[in-house]
Chain A
Amino acid sequence: MTTRRLEQIRNFSIIAHIDHGKSTLADRLIERSGALSQREMAEQVLDSMDLERERGITIKAQSVSLDYTARDGRTYQLNFIDTPGHVDFSYEVSRSLYACEGALLLVDASQGVEAQSVANCYTAVEQGLEVLPVLNKIDLVSADPDRVVQQIEEIIGLDAADVLKISAKTGQGLDELLESLVQHFPPPMGDPDGPLKALIIDSWFNNYLGVVCLVRVFDGVVQPGEKIRVHSTGREFTVDQVGIFTPKQTSWQSLTAGRVGYVIAGIKSLDGAPVGDTLTHASQKTTVPLPGFKVVKPRVFAGVFPVSAEDYEDCREALAKLRLNDTALRYEPETSQALGFGFRCGFLGMLHMEIVQERLEREYGLNLITTAPTVVHEVLTTRAEVLEVHNPADLPPLGEIKEIREPIIQASILVPQEYLGNVIKLCEDKRGSQKSLQYVGNQIALEYEMPMSEVVLDFFDRLKSASRGFASFDYEFRRFQVASLVKLDILVNGEPVDALSTIVHRDLAQVRGRELTERLKSIIPRQMFEVAIQAAVGSRIIARSTIKALRKNVTAKCYGGDITRKKKLLEKQKAGKRRMKQVGKIEIPQDAFLAVLQVDQANK
């Protein structure tokens, strides 16, 4: 077996904060390769999910292969593997980086380095990638390259003396960028004649083709007609098609070692091609698989319930399909007295949760109620058992609880000096304790330990408003820690609504209870009768609000010609009700189940 350098291939990704211009740069690169017409370039092509384009973020890894003829006269295949920029998706980032030898660290020349880029950059360095810093938006008047170069050196510790300065918008510096990319990034290593080893970086379901796998071939060759095996399951498939994305799906005769491309092999079942798995030829019974990825643990849990019970099976199927290329997503069946049958889902963070919910609603046409997210708690029972509680409703009775432990995270925050006071106050409000404070240029790097439940609530939004959007933030799980926690129940006309229960710090129970009952009062529409909303800890009522009865619901006028329009009005009212959940006699809108999240905002 002869491992060698595959000189004319470069595999790389771009690490960038949201808005720092990654998509624009990707567009320029695609344009330069001439793979798409001007018209096809009309939109940024890489963020292909509607949701991604709307939010201007990348959720899923995608790849593009470009041909580039360098100054040495040789044509290189550049494989760009996209990485998500948000902290929730750090797992996806490490997956994308695994398939690369190099990474461009793209930094906005006026905004400077952000905490998420720092974290992703460390991941790249840890994985042995060559990192090349690049300043973007150099054409802006507000660009301050010297300051940002200093930041890159101080915060990240990269030598930025020869930093590339580009404008992805105007194309300035693009040639130098492509040349440096070819010169600085090492070519992939691999044995094209060895037994096949291809890593599944991502996979998704296409209605016509079945499962499409995005792979990085490490050794060997894969081509249509061959029998391949998915290592973990041992199942065998015949390859129908291989190819690359230019970004158009373009079929090739084979994919050889070092390359990144797709494999379609008639895989129909949803779990047929798990991300992180290794593809080999069917004849290779003893090949040692590639290391794959570490399994990430979801940290945030929420109930996802179809509004109408008939959608339950569709919901299960949709979750299964999403899980296929989102291995971080967890789900297990859950039953709520208030909301019926649904699923307890585990997410990486809040954005991940929102994205999953939106995809379920948009791509699968489901009408859902999502409960407020909660973190995982550890409960030590009086029988000395340790339980992992994903749902406040599953908390054992008070008498059986010896202690409750909550997850603590370490938050890394970068903030300009003028907002330091606001941010410190916010961290203290959120029960944080300061671990370090360092001046880095004119920014401050803060480290805080704080309960994860506080971060889940609304920390990110409030950090943004406390710093006018300038602070950036990253976090990682540290440990479980004993805390004085209680379960806060919400009763609607005397009936507890399990889906509205939360676990809160004892000292905050009263305040949260009051905020929550007030918030629910403003969300739940008036009904034909008075509705009492109470907050309780155990059997003790700690707060109450009252929704007054609606006086009437009548259309004032209805004559001969009006009937069609008035009928539409009735239908609209009924459709409005359909989006609500009937709990006992009371109709509760979906937002109510997220009210826990909004209490703080409502009071700011």
Chain B
Amino acid sequence: MFRFTASPPLALYVHLPWCVRKCPYCDFNSHALRGELPATAYVDALLADVLREIKHIHEREISSVFFGGGTPSLFPPAALARLLEGLQRYLRIAADCEITLEANPGSVDQARFEDFRSAGVNRLSIGVQSFQADSLHRLGRIHGPQAAVAAVETAHAAGFDNFNIDLMYGLPNQGRPAAVADITQAIALAPPHISHYQLTLEPNTAFAARPPALPEDDAIYAMQIDCQTRLAGAGYQHYEVSAYALRDRRCRHNLNYWSFGDYLGIGAGAHGKVTDLDKGKITRYEKLARPMAYIREATAGEAVAKSHQLSAQDAVLEFMMNALRLPEGVPRKLCTARTGLPWVCFEAAVDDARNRGWLDITADDRVRPTALGMRFLNNLLGCFLPPD
């Protein structure tokens, strides 16, 4: 039994699982669309699903909503509008709520972006990945460099002043100049936020089955440093392992994950994490992953596939897995507040990590990874794994 003094902030994740086709590196719950997108049935299912989430809310406002996928921009704007109206009805959405929609170049036009905007979406996350034709082709993306640029320009034109560009580096056959060219091009398009990820080969993907030849580790690291230098030069603050933002444009929704906030998850394969103050427990759950099964079960009654309660060891490790992704770290008090556990549960591992030079406690009492700890985050997190 954990002891909480206050509920963590609450966000909402909505999963829209359909894509035009599945990319070879993608390990998310996405499904190539065959035939008509069942938008009406899916919105009905989501609204039925969210109703059963109300028990987890405990009078909290929703601070952010994230429509992830899949390719949510494939969704008809009218269906999305109906969904958002429904959510407004059942939930208390904060006045300044950040509402993000993932969009892929090649599935958008200006009218569509304007419609999403009038439906209530106020932030876009655009899956550009690269501006090089060769790289986009290898990544199995359906768009070309022009469409990538056009998508960003369209976002601007549709009146979005808050959006993100997803870029990847360490791509098959990619050299340092190509990686730098990508980041330079991205910066030139002036997005308020850039997510800059190293490509990783995830299990159960086409790339895992037939791994492409990737650049050497040292070359990838050199790309990272080059790109980080350019991002910093252009005023982007590095606030998470792979996230860079202009002032005030950090992603609120993701920051909620990284500071171990609560979130509801609705939609096929969506994950949620909720804190029950009275019972003193933290629960993670997962919805049915296959879209048709999800629609059927959510509409009929219950779409939770599995759920489990966190042990104290889980809570400590998972808190750190999130919080230590932030170079600025988190207030030490947040460790105890969000996990409901006393500091003594963290102390030995924190001391171990400090002795190894991977972790700091700052003068203003923040727990923060050192520069070395940031580079070797997995080693640092190893300190928080339960002993054998």
Do the two chains belong together in a single complex?
A: yes
Assess whether B388 is in contact with A578, with CB atoms less than 8 Å apart: yes
Q: Which of A551, A555, A567 contacts B317 (CB 8 A)?
A: A567
Those of B340-388 within 8 Å (CB) of chain A: 372, 374-379, 381-382, 385, 388
Taking the complex as formed, is B257 at the interface, i.e. its CB lies under 8 A from any CB of chain A? yes
A561 vs B68: C-alpha distance when bound (angstroms): 11
A residues less than 8 Å from B174 (CB atoms): none
Assess whether A561 is in contact with B375, with CB atoms less than 8 Å apart: no
A559 vs B69: C-alpha distance when bound (angstroms): 13
Taking the complex as formed, is A49 at the interface, i.e. its CB lies under 8 A from any CB of chain B? no
Looking at the complex, which of A75-83, A136-144, A408-416, A568-576 is the stretch in contact with chain B?
A568-576
Q: Which of A528, A557, A558 contacts B379 (CB 8 A)?
A: A528
A558 vs B197: C-alpha distance when bound (angstroms): 11
Assess whether A557 is in contact with B385, with CB atoms less than 8 Å apart: no
Chain B nearest CB from A308 CB (Å) reads: 8
Taking the complex as formed, is B160 at the interface, i.e. its CB lies under 8 A from any CB of chain A? no
In this complex, what residue of A is CB-closest to B356? A528
A308 vs B321: C-alpha distance when bound (angstroms): 27
Given A552-B375, A552-B376, are A570 and B388 also a contact pair (CB < 8 Å)?
no
Q: Which of B270, B286, B377 contacts A553 (CB 8 A)?
A: B377
B residues less than 8 Å from A577 (CB atoms): 382
Q: Which of A551, A557, A561 contacts B271 (CB 8 A)?
A: A561
In this complex, what residue of A is CB-closest to B197? A556
Assess whether B378 is in contact with A555, with CB atoms less than 8 Å apart: yes
Interface string of B236-274 (1 = CB under 8 A from A): 000001100000000000100100000101000111110
Given A567-B317, A578-B388, are A554 and B378 also a contact pair (CB < 8 Å)?
yes
Assess whether A560 is in contact with B265, with CB atoms less than 8 Å apart: yes
Assess whether B198 is in contact with A556, with CB atoms less than 8 Å apart: yes
In this complex, what residue of B is CB-closest to A554? B377
A577 vs B387: C-alpha distance when bound (angstroms): 12
Interface centre among A571, A573, A574, A577 (most CB of B within 10 A): A574
Taking the complex as formed, is B96 at the interface, i.e. its CB lies under 8 A from any CB of chain A? no
Chain B nearest CB from A556 CB (Å) reads: 5
Given A553-B375, A574-B382, are A560 and B257 also a contact pair (CB < 8 Å)?
yes
In this complex, what residue of B is CB-closest to A570? B381
Assess whether B321 is in contact with A567, with CB atoms less than 8 Å apart: yes
Assess whether B379 is in contact with A553, with CB atoms less than 8 Å apart: yes
Chain A nearest CB from B223 CB (Å) reads: 11
Assess whether B13 is in contact with A560, with CB atoms less than 8 Å apart: yes
Taking the complex as formed, is B200 at the interface, i.e. its CB lies under 8 A from any CB of chain A? yes
- Chain A: interface residue count, which band? 20 to 34
In this complex, what residue of B is CB-closest to A555? B378
Those of A300-316 within 8 Å (CB) of chain B: 308
In this complex, what residue of A is CB-closest to B372? A528
A residues less than 8 Å from B270 (CB atoms): 561
Chain B nearest CB from A585 CB (Å) reads: 10
B residues less than 8 Å from A551 (CB atoms): 217-218, 221, 375
Q: Which of A548, A557, A560 contacts B197 (CB 8 A)?
A: A557
Taking the complex as formed, is A362 at the interface, i.e. its CB lies under 8 A from any CB of chain B? no
A residues less than 8 Å from B317 (CB atoms): 567, 570
Q: Which of A553, A563, A578 contacts B318 (CB 8 A)?
A: A563
Taking the complex as formed, is B281 at the interface, i.e. its CB lies under 8 A from any CB of chain A? no
Assess whether A556 is in contact with B375, with CB atoms less than 8 Å apart: no
Interface string of B102-136 (1 = CB under 8 A from A): 00000000000000000000000000000000000
Assess whether B265 is in contact with A570, with CB atoms less than 8 Å apart: no
A278 vs B13: C-alpha distance when bound (angstroms): 78
Taking the complex as formed, is A125 at the interface, i.e. its CB lies under 8 A from any CB of chain B? no
Interface contacts beyond A308-B388, A552-B224, A554-B377: sample of 11 additional A-B pairs, CB < 8 Å, sorted by A: A526-B217, A553-B376, A556-B241, A556-B242, A557-B200, A560-B271, A560-B272, A571-B385, A573-B378, A577-B382, A578-B388
Where the two chains meet, the residues of B that have a C-beta atom closer than 8 Å to any C-beta of A are 13, 197-200, 217-218, 221, 224, 241-242, 254, 257, 263, 265, 269-273, 284, 286, 317-318, 321-322, 325, 372, 374-379, 381-382, 385, 388
Where the two chains meet, the residues of A that have a C-beta atom closer than 8 Å to any C-beta of B are 308, 526, 528, 548, 550-561, 563-564, 566-567, 569-571, 573-574, 577-578
Supply 28 A–B pairs (Cβ within 8 Å), ascending by A.
Answer: A526-B217, A528-B372, A528-B379, A551-B217, A551-B221, A553-B376, A553-B377, A554-B374, A554-B376, A555-B377, A556-B200, A556-B242, A558-B241, A558-B325, A559-B254, A559-B257, A561-B265, A561-B269, A563-B318, A563-B321, A566-B321, A570-B317, A570-B382, A570-B385, A571-B385, A573-B378, A574-B385, A577-B382
